[in-house]
């Protein structure tokens, strides 16, 4: 039945990898079922027969689909179906997109769709790696034009040793989370999160990954040689050479004059009449070819910018090749929020706001890995006004999710542990003006906001981008690229880190890949640049973490109780914990391991609630002082509840520092009183003293009284009020 069924096998990172084709999804242009250990991903690629009209780009879509049946779970949604892709799925889609996109013909406009469906997950074998390899194999054996193959791999580092494709358990303790894609000759994509890893270790890990990728590339080349289809011919959308040369001759000097400014608004205004003049002259010469004329103008600007850089060492805004745009930083720019920071680099501005919350405010995750929640969240917003455009806000797209994740990855290594700082944290980076490197600006602004919020980060983090211009064997790297240099250049190499080392990398390429020399130079230049940003700009704006939290931020206390006492603190139907929250104006979050997190705007309220929780979970100690509530009055004294379900007797002689004739003269039911534990008898009954508490706290003078000793409790039934 399956005449074209073939299987290709090898070993990868000590685990078997098997690529099947010719059995499922046979109507796609190319498809494979890849097995990595017991991880299974179906990768299918399709292409439209005709080019899409009216687009000036290659329309590629990549979707990484997480199916919860792959990990034996039913979706938690109301419909019990998978909904929109998780952030992790979107980030994996971008991870696969970046290395494969530059290898398609730049003049092709046929829609190409890649779908990677995760069908089974083995925790020992990452599905992201399987999906990248499967995508490469599917496109390679298809009839779609592509200059592959590629391979992808992950590298971890534990105790100074590199780990190839670490398991989930290894990833939890790894200091490095690096993903590298390679072609046969070049490094095609780098993405990393790291705990302040040195440039040298990062470079060595990238080179190891590139070397290991070659085994899979050879396997896919063998597949392509045996069963690969002939690539189809497509209608090229490359502008006519003669048209380009004519427009170049007509407009190049005007384009140079328009581009020669550091102000994006001025540049756009200067270019507008140039475009109008070009169309006025060439629309008649080339009728019905307005799109090609626009493409020629794009190519002309690209030609000018690249020639300036390669031939003259000249940048559009007049900076030196390694010069950073004018910088400014400010912390505490917004009132009432918990923390805020504004970072400006040229015409790029990012305002980040930090909000602190309870541990229960952590984000709940419902994906195919074993990460159930995260307490540090970073969101990135890119409104249309930031680039001077008018378009409605439609929620975060893939770019916004990707940039937010990059900033999050850069800062996670310096966030204090839950034990050190028992808070959830949400940072929101608002891009208020954009002319390149907004993701790196959000990292800098976020460091300022965290420090302003009083979060005891391990070290400040800064981010910077490095660009690239290549021509044959020539190359030039340039620091802090602005928008135009990103559009017309070959690379956006984003690196974030502290003085000590790298915390995140993301590399976007428009060419097939990078040589080791380019990678090493980019790492060196970005390290020097981020050191300058940290020392000369950010740490001058806020030299150290604020010593105290904002008065508007919740104050958090942690109490540890025995697990078997959790029920006592919660109470029947949650009544005890609800009463504590209401009485003390606090929020309480109780963990399964016995940790109790108490948050309140007023620290004294949090302390009071903590004392109540400890009193419930532990027997009161003699000598301890509590704030309690009078529950009953007797002729011989008053009963005071010092915690839900825990009462003690204050004998009439211990109600005040002076002689008391009647209990009602001193207290009434419902009064809050300060009491001290003076005795706990053999039956567990508690004797309290308001007199002793007043003396200890206020230094009150006790009136002489011959009968100032408490009488023994009345015999008989214990006169305690049952709750």
Over residues 304-331, the mean pLDDT reads: 94
For residues 138 and 122, is the Cβ–Cβ distance under 8 A? Answer: no
Enter the tokens of residue 288.
Answer: 């019905």
Closest C-alpha among 469, 505, 520 to residue 180: 505
Q: Looking at the domain assignment, is residue 234 inside a domain?
A: no
Q: Looking at the domain assignment, is residue 547 inside a domain?
A: no
Same domain, 305 and 346: no
pLDDT for 700 equals: 64
pLDDT for 77 equals: 79
CATH number at 437 reads: 3.30.230.70
Same domain, 92 and 155: yes
Contacts 24+ apart (CB under 8 A), 294-297: 294/56, 295/56, 295/237, 295/239, 296/239, 296/243, 296/244, 296/247, 296/248, 297/247, 297/251, 297/255
Q: Which residue has the higher pLDDT, 1 or 407?
A: 407
Is the pLDDT confidence value at 719 over 50?
no
Categorize the per-residue pLDDT at 704 as very low, low, confident or very high, splitting at 50, 70 and 90.
Answer: low
List pLDDT tens digits, range 241-274.
Answer: 999 999 999 999 999 999 999 888 899 999 999 9
List pLDDT tens digits, range 576-626.
Answer: 999 899 989 999 999 889 999 999 999 999 998 998 898 888 878 899 888
pLDDT for 718 equals: 39
pLDDT for 599 equals: 92
pLDDT for 714 equals: 47
CATH number at 275 reads: 1.10.10
Same domain, 20 and 74: yes
List pLDDT tens digits, range 440-452.
Answer: 999 999 999 999 9
Stretch (H or E) spanning 410: helix 398-411
- End-to-end alpha carbon distance in the chain: 75
- Who contacts 68 (Cβ-Cβ below 8 Å, separation ≥6)? 74, 75, 82, 366, 368
List pLDDT tens digits, range 40-94.
Answer: 999 999 999 999 988 889 999 999 999 999 999 998 878 899 888 999 999 999 9
Same domain, 214 and 248: no
Cα-Cα-Cα-Cα dihedral sign, residues 21, 25, 31, 34: negative
For residues 710 and 651, is the Cβ–Cβ distance under 8 A? Answer: yes
Is the pLDDT confidence value at 489 over 90?
yes
Query: Vertex 260, ends 257 and 263: CA angle to 5°?
Result: 125
Q: Looking at the domain assignment, is residue 1 inside a domain?
A: no
Domain termination site, one of 585, 600, 618 = 618
Same domain, 258 and 368: no
Closest C-alpha among 667, 650, 579 to residue 616: 579
pLDDT for 594 equals: 92
Same domain, 89 and 132: yes
* CA gap 133, 723 in Å, rounded: 65
Domain span at residue 188 reads: 6-166+176-227
* CA gap 680, 186 in Å, rounded: 77
Share of residues in the chain with pLDDT > 70 (%)? 97
Q: Looking at the domain assignment, is residue 546 inside a domain?
A: no
Same domain, 306 and 332: no
Categorize the per-residue pLDDT at 678 as very low, low, confident or very high, splitting at 50, 70 and 90.
Answer: very high
List pLDDT tens digits, range 366-408.
Answer: 788 877 789 999 999 999 999 988 888 888 999 999 999 999 9
Across 212-231, b (16+ Cβ under 10 Å) vs e yields bbeebbebbeebbeeebeee
pLDDT for 237 equals: 85
Over residues 130-154, the mean pLDDT reads: 97
Is the pLDDT confidence value at 161 over 50?
yes
Q: Looking at the domain assignment, is residue 232 inside a domain?
A: no
List pLDDT tens digits, range 10-31.
Answer: 999 889 999 999 999 999 999 9
Share of residues in the chain with pLDDT > 90 (%)? 77
Q: Looking at the domain assignment, is residue 548 inside a domain?
A: no
Q: Which residue has the higher pLDDT, 716 or 615?
A: 615
Across 282-316, b (16+ Cβ under 10 Å) vs e yields beeebeebeebbebbbebbbeebbbebbeeeebbb
Give the total number of structural domains in the chain.
5
Is the pLDDT confidence value at 711 over 60?
no
CATH number at 629 reads: 2.40.50.140
Same domain, 689 and 716: yes
Kindly report the average pLDDT of the chain as a whole number: 92
What's the length of the chain?
723
Is the pLDDT confidence value at 122 over 90?
yes
Enter the tokens of residue 588.
Answer: 């309480």
For residues 653 and 708, is the Cβ–Cβ distance under 8 A? Answer: yes
Q: What is the pTM of this model?
A: 0.87
- Quote the DSSP letter at residue 69: G
Domain termination site, one of 567, 596, 618 = 618
For residues 206 and 190, is the Cβ–Cβ distance under 8 A? Answer: yes
Same domain, 208 and 142: yes
Over residues 412-438, the mean pLDDT reads: 95
* CA gap 2, 387 in Å, rounded: 54
Q: Looking at the domain assignment, is residue 256 inside a domain?
A: yes
Same domain, 475 and 521: yes
Same domain, 331 and 206: no
Q: Looking at the domain assignment, is residue 257 inside a domain?
A: yes
Domain termination site, one of 590, 618, 646 = 618
Same domain, 265 and 394: no
Tell me the residue ranges of DSSP E strands in 332-400.
339-345, 348-357, 363-364, 373-374, 376-381
């Amino acid at each position: 039945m399956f005449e074209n069924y073939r299987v290709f096998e090898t070993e990868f990172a000590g685990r078997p990898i098997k690529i099947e084709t010719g059995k499922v999804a046979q109507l796609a242009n190319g498809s494979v079922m890849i097995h990595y250990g017991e991880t299974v991903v179906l990768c299918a690629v399709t292409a439209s027969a005709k080019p899409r009209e009216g687009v000036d780009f290659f329309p590629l879509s990549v979707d990484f689909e997480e199916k919860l049946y792959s990990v034996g779970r039913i979706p938690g949604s109301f419909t019990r179906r998978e909904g929109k892709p998780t952030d992790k799925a979107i980030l994996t889609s971008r991870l696969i997109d970046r290395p494969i996109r530059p290898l398609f013909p730049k003049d092709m406009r046929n829609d190409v769709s890649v779908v990677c469906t995760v069908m089974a997950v083995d925790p020992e074998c990452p599905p992201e790696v399987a999906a990248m390899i499967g995508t490469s194999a599917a496109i390679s054996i298809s009839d779609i034009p592509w200059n592959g193959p590629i391979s992808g791999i992950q590298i971890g580092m534990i105790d100074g040793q590199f780990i190839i494709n670490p398991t989930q358990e290894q990833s939890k303790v790894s200091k490095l989370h690096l993903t590298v894609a390679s072609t046969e000759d070049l490094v095609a994509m780098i993405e990393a999160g790291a705990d302040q890893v040195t440039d040298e270790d990062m470079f060595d890990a990238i080179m190891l990954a590139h070397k290991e990728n070659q085994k899979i590339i050879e396997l896919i080349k063998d597949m392509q040689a045996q069963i690969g289809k002939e690539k189809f011919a497509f209608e090229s959308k490359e502008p006519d050479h003669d048209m380009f040369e004519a427009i170049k001759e007509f407009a190049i000097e005007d384009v140079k004059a328009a581009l020669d400014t550091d102000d994006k608004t001025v540049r756009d205004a200067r270019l507008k009449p140039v475009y109008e003049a070009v169309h006025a002259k060439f629309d008649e010469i080339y009728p019905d070819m307005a799109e090609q004329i626009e493409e020629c103008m794009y190519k002309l600007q690209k030609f000018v910018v690249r020639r300036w850089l390669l031939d003259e060492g000249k940048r559009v805004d007049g900076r030196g090749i390694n010069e950073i745009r004018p910088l400014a930083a400010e912390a505490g720019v917004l009132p009432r929020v918990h923390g805020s920071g504004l970072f400006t680099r040229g015409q790029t501005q990012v305002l980040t706001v930090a909000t602190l919350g309870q541990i229960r405010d952590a984000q709940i995750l419902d994906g195919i890995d074993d990460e159930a929640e995260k307490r540090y969240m970073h969101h990135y917003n890119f409104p249309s006004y930031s680039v001077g455009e008018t378009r409605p806000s439609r929620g975060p797209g893939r770019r916004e999710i990707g940039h937010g994740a990059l900033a999050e990855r850069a800062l996670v290594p310096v966030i204090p542990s839950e034990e050190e700082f028992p808070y959830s944290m949400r940072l929101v980076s608002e891009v208020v003006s954009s002319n390149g490197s907004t993701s790196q600006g959000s990292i800098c602004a976020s460091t300022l906001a965290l420090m302003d919020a009083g979060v005891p980060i391990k070290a400040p983090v800064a981010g910077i981008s490095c660009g690239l211009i290549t021509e044959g064997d020539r190359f030039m790297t340039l620091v802090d690229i602005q928008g135009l240099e990103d559009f017309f250049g070959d690379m956006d190499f984003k690196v974030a880190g502290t003085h000590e080392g790298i915390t995140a990398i993301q590399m976007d390429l428009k060419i097939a890949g990078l040589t080791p020399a380019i990678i090493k130079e980019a790492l060196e230049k970005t390290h020097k640049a981020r050191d300058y940003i940290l020392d000369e700009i950010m740490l001058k704006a806020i030299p150290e973490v604020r010593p105290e939290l904002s008065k508007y931020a919740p104050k958090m206390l942690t109490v540890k109780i025995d697990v078997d006492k959790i029920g006592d603190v919660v109470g029947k139907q949650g009544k005890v914990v609800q009463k504590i929250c209401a009485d003390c104006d606090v929020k309480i979050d109780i963990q399964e391991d016995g940790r109790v997190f108490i948050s309140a705007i007023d620290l004294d309220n949090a302390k009071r609630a903590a004392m109540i929780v400890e009193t419930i979970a532990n027997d009161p100690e003699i000598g301890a002082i509590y704030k309690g509530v009078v529950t009953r009055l007797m002729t011989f004294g008053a009963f005071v509840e010092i915690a839900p379900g825990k009462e003690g007797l204050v004998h009439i002689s211990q109600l005040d520092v002076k002689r008391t004739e009647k209990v009602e003269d001193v207290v009434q039911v419902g009064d809050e009183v300060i009491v001290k534990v003076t005795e706990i008898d053999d039956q567990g009954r508690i004797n309290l003293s308001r007199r002793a508490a007043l003396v200890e706290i206020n230094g009150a003078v006790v009136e002489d009284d011959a009968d100032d000793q408490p009488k023994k409790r009345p015999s008989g039934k214990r006169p305690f009020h049952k709750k």
